Structure 1
């Protein structure tokens, strides 16, 4: 079986110089890991709900607990995780901390993936 796959590969594969070009243009390991971390963050339904809610409006932790019907500790834990990945940012007004999406790139990624999932 391996021999058959190898023969097929020899007939259809790109030349060595093109493979070398692809290797040189490969994204750095740190960039790949960072991108994987963002997609990993989107792999949790609670974090997806938080991101979706913050896509609509900047909110404090208390308001997020009411919208998502979850405890403050759980919401705070997820927000800390998302903040460490620069998916959300915070803004402090007095003692109240408001959360929003970090930038428009996060919004675009999320909206694109949401449209992809909803696409029939």
Structure 2
């Protein structure tokens, strides 16, 4: 079967797109990264951490979820490098892994504000 192409695409557009197409492995990693925000509790954790570090107990109280539920979501976020934690005494404090996470989150909020005015 011959490869089908669109006859109306701008000349060279498909080849230009091919040059910048991510490979399968990177696409899977990126899907997992964005998939981390597919859970409302994880979204709210990232939202809470935008302004600075919080301990697990703070997140439990803020989100009104159980400690095991918050810890489970934090493990997922940590495994995908969206958050990082450090121990201070008996408490673990979490922050966003880097500013890219905050920027991506806030760009998502801006996008939704444009899509849903008011």
Q: Under a length normalisation based on structure 1, what TM-score does the superposition of the two structures give?
A: 0.83
**Cα shift at 1:91:** 1.2
**2:63 aligned with 1:68:** yes
Corresponding position of 1:114: 109
Q: Give the alignment's Cα RMSD to 1 decimal.
A: 2.0
**2:74 aligned with 1:79:** yes
User: Which 5+ residue runs of structure 1 have no aligned equivalent?
Assistant: 1-5
Q: Under a length normalisation based on structure 2, what TM-score does the superposition of the two structures give?
A: 0.84
Corresponding position of 1:3: none
User: Which 5+ residue runs of structure 2 have no aligned equivalent?
Assistant: none
Match of 1:25 among 7, 20, 27: 20
Corresponding position of 1:55: 50
More helix by share: 1
Count of residues in correspondence between the two structures: 112
Deviation >4 Å, runs of 4+: none
